[in-house]
Structure 1
Amino acid sequence: MAERRWSARDCHEFFEQRPWDSVLKFYQLVVNGQIGLRDLRIEHNEKFEDRCLETKQQDEDKSLPIVDRSKERGGRWERRTFKIVLSYSGTAFAGWQKQPGFLTVQSVLEKQLGRFVDGKRASNLEKQGKIKEALVSVAGRTDKGVHACGQVCSFYTWMRECKEEDVKSAVNSAMPTILRAVSASEVDRDFHPIFSAKWRRYIYIFPLRSRDEIDVSKVATLLRGLEGHSLSYAIFARDTKIARSSGPATVCTLYHARAALAKLPVPNEENVMVVELVADRFLRKMVRVLVSTAIKEAFAGANDDALVALMEETDRRASAPPAPAHGLCLAEVGYGNSQARDCLLRHCQHIVKNTKV
């Protein structure tokens, strides 16, 4: 029998009043490189036969073009582009995007990478009496509180003596405990973190007071119904117009949407629910609203296609308010083919075998 659906206030109280400290501690260890997301102790069922998750770029190599410097070219072709994979603690920053008076990931990076700015840009900044700061592009601007262990950004320089290890060292010397360059590599000058990306992968960790507090199998079934469909997720977005004839499209394709029980690899091994989503793109706050709405609908005993049915709604009050930002982590940005073996939740016992995709 269906239960009463929660109000926005009910949702806020349920999401906020729980043991988040262990989740934050886990993410801090991930950011520092002491452990990884794969250290989560997820309950698997190896008998579950998973479908292979594939994007449309099936024949594309996951690696980026290798830069060949054996044939140097002059002029504008001397510009060099570096790709940086970042890990950072979201609770330490006011989001990614630079904002006057606030500590953001972009502001720290552009200042640190300013040492590699030269040429015309350096001259212009000097004439304007401004400090040298690099121009950094990013795959996805994370909100305040959202963590990352696979964020991708890039910047360019004309300095021939700039090396990959120099770039990595410059980033890692800024705020060692909360911001880390996982890798830095020179890529083809046509590379762009946003436009070259084929998919993004997010992980949401939701702490549980007890193992049976949430029907994780129901949450998993609700999310699984979104897999393989290209749908408008406007109802699950925030800070954007729900109906619009111009601006960015609201249609996204979810390649992978799963949920499972797990234990954190920290003292006391707290029970958590882990949600993993992979899509070609995500709208503003879309992941957090999907997670909260799936939990809300699970408690209400909704039909298995409840999330798909919500796509027809025009009032965002039909979906739940966003789940807390500090449970979310940008795990990876992909620049090629994505398969199920790359995902964290592949053989989860809480996923029904005959769920239609």
Structure 2
Amino acid sequence: MKTERCIRMTMSYDGSDFAGWQRQLDRRSVQGELEKALRTMHGHDVSVTAAGRTDSGVHAIGQVVHFHTDIASIPAAKFRVALNKLMPVDVRVVEAAATRLDFHARFDARLRRYKYYIRACTPPLPHLDRYAWRLDHQPDLGRLNRLAACLRGELDCTAFSSARDEHENRHRYLHHATFYMEQDALVFDVAANAFLWHMVRSLVGTLVELDRAGAPDDAMQAILRSGERRQAGVTAPPHGLFLWQVEYYRAASHARPGSVAAGGGLTVPGGDLLVGQASGLPAGDEVPGPRLIPGLGYVDS
């Protein structure tokens, strides 16, 4: 009798040449490449679930996925090596580990963190501009952060959702939203329990437009309260966006959407926080992530 295991993996990919995470019949996807490699290993189809279904052109540093396997001969950690040998170089398994059978990469996630990169008034460098939104004006860092100051706590984010978003409940809990400089790049760093479709890119596009127009500090708050997408700005292009990190609680049962555990910073009785893979950090601690180093790519901080 075969023993089933659940494998949790952290993945990184360059989304430039993918039509997004989700498998598609006639277009290249990250899920499609991973499931093709798993099919080669298993001799049958293996379904993979991700924490976030990134759009076409969006990248990932810390995507988390899970799948079930009946292969007992491969240690869980070795799935990283085996799968990386079978997949193209623009999608990589960073880490693999066995987890509980009922772990769910999407529904057990406590927090998703994205970073959006902007390069403004800098020399054109194709190897960097491929991963950042290039602007011909210099944004005001202070004004951007004053505009974004309202992006905290539980918010109705309807004004920043796509018309094609199918979520009935568009309230989300935002843990932080801030701009800062990283080398010569302007970074928007945002984390929430979950995001609506195109929400991060809509936030970025709107904030950049408001800053350039010299809008008052409460302009973003007014757009939030309107609940109307037409009041917000453009949707920033996908190539500057990275799914950076996913945090989890380890608990006896799933933290499903709408539950206490799915909220912002609320505790799960008897649960401890997992960040990406395993970590001994309590909830709310800052976890160092990779940094963009011009000319070198991403390195651990």
State the TM bucket, normalised to the shorter chain: 0.7 to 0.9
**Pair 1:338–1:283, CA change in 2 (3 A):** farther
Which position in structure 2 is the counterpart of 1:292?
A: 205
Which position in structure 1 is the counterpart of 2:34?
A: 109
Normalising by the residue count of structure 1, what TM-score does the alignment of the two structures yield?
A: 0.64
**Pair 1:239–1:184, CA change in 2 (3 A):** farther
Summarize the alignment of residues 187-266 of structure 1 with structure 2, pairs less than 5 Å apart.
187-209=99-121, 213-227=138-152, 229-240=153-164, 247-263=167-183
| Bigger Rg over Cα | 1
**One-letter amino acid matched to 2:13:** Y
1:308 to 215, 221, 225: 221
Secondary structure of the corresponding residue to residue 82 of structure 2: helix
**One-letter amino acid matched to 2:19:** A
Secondary structure of the corresponding residue to residue 109 of structure 2: coil
1:133 aligned to 2:45? yes
Q: Is the 8 A contact 1:200 1:279 kept in 2?
A: yes
2:14 to 56, 69, 89: 89
**One-letter amino acid matched to 2:47:** L
**Pair 1:330–1:255, CA change in 2 (3 A):** same
Distance 2:102 2:243 in 1: 24
1:339 aligned to 2:290? no
**Pair 1:339–1:169, CA change in 2 (3 A):** same
Higher relative contact order (CA 8 A, sep 6+): 1
* Identical columns (%): 34
Which position in structure 1 is the counterpart of 2:84?
A: 172
1:272 to 185, 207, 217: 185
Q: Structure 2: 5+ residue runs without aligned partners?
A: 123-135, 249-272, 274-281, 290-301
Distance 2:219 2:285 in 1: 25
**Pair 1:91–1:262, CA change in 2 (3 A):** same
**Pair 1:314–1:212, CA change in 2 (3 A):** closer
Distance 2:241 2:69 in 1: 32
Structure 1 segments (4+ residues) deviating >6 Å? none
